[in-house]
Structure 1
Amino acid sequence: MKQQAIRIHDRYDELNRRERGRVRTRTEFVLGFMGDVGGLATLVIAEEGAREHPGGRPALEHELADCLWSVLIPTHRYNVDLERVFHRTMTELDKRIDTRLSQGDTPGT
């Protein structure tokens, strides 16, 4: 997935150079990601039946793919080993959850 994402990113750079004379900065790219997340939130709300949205399930799937692309590209541009840091972060979260669960405290006791 990452290689395909990078290929599409490089093609967008080529297109933006041709049409605008420059490529999007990393900051502009992340701001675009924020817009994608907003679009995803709208589609999730629609999927849950709380509002109408044209496009239905295919639009939700498309936006999820856009969001994934928008995560893969900054990992490339900032030279982050996403697989390594994902596993490290999930291990840290797992330990925190284990600690809290082992405390045996339940709300209201």
Structure 2
Amino acid sequence: MQEKARAVRGAYAARETARYGRRWNDEELMLGFLGDVGDLAKLVQGKAGVRPREDLDQALAHELADCLWSVMSLADTYGVDLEAAFDRTMAELGAHLARDGAAPSNPESP
């Protein structure tokens, strides 16, 4: 997934350079992510019946993937090993839940 995300980000960077004379900077990448999260929030409202649309499930899947791509691009930008960070965070959350007596339901979970 990370290789695909990098390839698409590289293609966008080339397009940005051709259009604007430079690629988006780190802050602009983050602002793009915020826009994606806003779009996702509207689709979640749709799932709650507030903003219905015919292609809701397809649009929701697309926007979740778009948000994931943005997170992966930001992780690359800042040199974060997202897989390692995810594993660490899930272990920390699992330990926190275990301390509270609410162990994760998946036996393979941390």
- TM-score (normalizing by structure 1): 0.87
Give the alignment of 1:61-72 within 5 angstroms: 61-72=61-72
In structure 1, what residue type is equivalent to 2:84? R
Q: Name the count of aligned residue pairs.
A: 102
Partner of 2:84: 84
Q: Distance in 2 between matches of 1:14 and 1:71?
A: 20
Partner of 2:105: none
Q: Which runs of 4+ in 1 moved over 6 A?
A: none
Identity of aligned residues (%): 41
In structure 1, what residue type is equivalent to 2:36? D
| Gapped regions of structure 2 (runs ≥ 5) | 103-110
Offset of residue 54 of structure 1: 5.4
- TM-score (normalizing by structure 2): 0.86
Offset of residue 92 of structure 1: 0.7
Offset of residue 51 of structure 1: 2.5
Provide the secondary structure at the position in 2 that maps to 1:101.
coil
In structure 2, what residue type is equivalent to 1:16? E
Give the alignment of 1:2-13 within 5 angstroms: 2-13=2-13
| Gapped regions of structure 1 (runs ≥ 5) | 103-109
CA radius of gyration, larger in: 1
2:16 counterpart of 1:16: yes
Give the alignment of 1:1-109 within 5 angstroms: 1-53=1-53, 55-101=55-101
